[in-house]
């Protein structure tokens, strides 16, 4: 069985096992997350701000900057797709200036990374699969009128401060794709970004058939 056939067969299995009626525009994202995790709980935990898919595809086609909160998420995003749409892929977590600033102020590196993104990539898509403090800082800077990301993919995983940080994004007024609750991760974050890329690439075909 060829890799493309396996992917097709996998998506057919997922489609068959879905238990809720997911709107067509969200389905490619939800299905790709389930494809990445084999976890059908994302079917009900994933939530989208109104119009977010159209906005995301427009941003991608305009060559939006993408900023991730882990190098693992950056590594999982399709570099081929990013190149196709001239989207830059950035992660500031391992930058030495971020580390020293975070240590000095006794905040997380994720907090400082968000500030760096707000400065260097003010119209970016923020892809957050790990750090609730990244979401908290995004919300603060948004409330202060300093940072308005084109889209926040908010899917950190965890047991402490995670579910509440996601709710703060949902309530903010920003464009978002969020997996409510504890679950998520760098793999989920990358899968969402990749689903959006594939939708942008395939536009009027594949994803509208979902």
Other CB atoms within 10 A of residue 41 CB: 12
Provide the H-helix boundaries in the chain: 3-17, 27-37, 42-45, 52-61, 71-76, 79-84, 96-105, 109-120, 132-143, 162-170, 186-202
Nearer to a second copy (CB atom), residue 16 or residue 50: 16
> One symbol per residue from 2 to 31: x for binding a second copy (CB under 8 A), - otherwise; what is it?
-x--x--xx--xx-----------------
154 vs 185, which CB is nearer to a second copy? 185
Question: Residue 112 in contact with residue 98, Cβ under 8 Å?
Answer: yes
Near a second copy in 96-155, by CB under 8 A: 108
> What binding mask, one character per residue, do residues 149-188 give for a second copy by CB under 8 A, x or -?
--------xxxxx-------------------xxxxxxx-
> For residue 189, what are its two tokens?
């974050």
Which one of the listed residues 11, 18, 22, 35 is annotated catalytic?
35
Beta-carbon contacts of 55 under 8 Å, excluding residues fewer than 6 positions away, are: 150, 151, 175
- Of 26-65, which residues contact a second copy (CB under 8 A)? 35-39
Under 8 Å CB-to-CB from 18, ≥6 apart: which residues? 31, 40, 43
By beta-carbon proximity to a second copy, the closer residue of 59 and 157 is: 157
Task: Tell me if residue 79 is catalytic.
Answer: no
Residue positions annotated with a catalytic role = 35
Applying CB under 8 A, which residues contact a second copy? 1, 3, 6, 9-10, 13-14, 35-39, 71-72, 74-76, 108, 157-161, 181-187, 190
């Amino acid at each position: 069985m060829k890799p493309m056939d396996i992917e097709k067969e996998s998506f057919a299995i997922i489609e068959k096992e879905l238990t809720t009626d997911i709107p067509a525009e969200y389905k490619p994202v939800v299905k790709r997350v389930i494809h990445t995790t084999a976890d059908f709980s994302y079917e009900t935990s994933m939530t989208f701000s109104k119009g977010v898919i159209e906005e995301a595809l427009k941003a991608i086609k305009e060559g939006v900057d993408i900023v991730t909160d882990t190098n693992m998420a950056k590594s999982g995003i399709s570099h081929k797709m990013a190149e196709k749409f001239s989207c830059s892929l950035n992660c500031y977590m391992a930058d030495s200036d971020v580390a020293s600033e975070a240590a000095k102020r006794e905040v997380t590196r994720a907090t400082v990374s968000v500030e760096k993104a707000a400065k260097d990539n003010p119209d970016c898509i923020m892809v957050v699969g790990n750090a609730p403090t990244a979401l908290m800082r995004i919300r603060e800077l948004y409330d202060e009128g300093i940072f308005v990301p084109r889209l926040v993919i908010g899917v950190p995983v965890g047991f402490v401060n995670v579910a509440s940080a996601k709710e703060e994004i949902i309530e903010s007024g920003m464009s978002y794709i969020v997996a409510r609750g504890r679950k998520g991760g760098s793999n989920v974050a990358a899968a969402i970004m990749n689903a959006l890329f594939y939708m942008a690439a395939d536009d009027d075909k594949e994803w509208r058939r979902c």
